[in-house]
Structure 1
Amino acid sequence: MSERDQTPLTFREIFDLPVSVDLRTAARAFGMCMSTAYRLVGSGTFPCETVRVGHRHRIATVNLMRALGIDERPVYADDIADGVALTLFD
């Protein structure tokens, strides 16, 4: 595992996630190691719902964000400069 995989996700990284993520990404968002994530999934106590797809676990990003206490996407100055935020308020 690389150094980058061990660091928790930043808010900007969380808001750039796809519709669903793998268990490794969700574990990073919570700042936990993979062994803890697998233990929690196995005991049914992972902080948000996981879906088993074959031999892997997937987490809907909306459920991940809700478990992290994030209800809305913040508007960044970069988004306004890029014109992205304008579509949020139209």
Structure 2
Amino acid sequence: MTREELLALPVAVDLDTANRALTIGRSTGYALAKRDQYPVAVLKLGNAYRVVTSELHQLLGIVPDRVAGSGELCA
């Protein structure tokens, strides 16, 4: 995934998207998640796995160009 694609992700993504961002194969990603060995924290919600996008950004060293400061509104 490109930097722009990573920055455009929603707050949390499914495990397949996180696997793609980390270049981990689907089977390997799910196996790591089931063993609690995924490179970032994985949330299990019912039958679904979710990954917080900010953790992916941190692991990959992706920093937004500009962070809203005090007094600025986020769109």
- Displacement, 1:35? 0.3
Structure 2 residue corresponding to 1:69, chosen from 58, 61, 66? 61
Backbone CA RMSD of aligned residues: 1.9
1:35 aligned partner: 27
| Secondary structure in structure 2 of the residue aligned to 1:58 | strand
Show structure 1 runs of 5+ residues with no match: 1-8, 75-84
| TM-score, scaled relative to structure 1 | 0.69
Show structure 2 runs of 5+ residues with no match: none
Structure 2 residue corresponding to 1:53, chosen from 45, 50, 72? 45
Q: How many angstroms apart in 1 are the aligned matches of 2:61 and 2:34?
A: 23
| TM-score, scaled relative to structure 2 | 0.81
Moved over 3 A (4+): 87-90
| Secondary structure in structure 2 of the residue aligned to 1:18 | coil
Indicate the percent of aligned positions where both proteins have the same amino acid: 34
Higher relative contact order (CA 8 A, sep 6+): 2
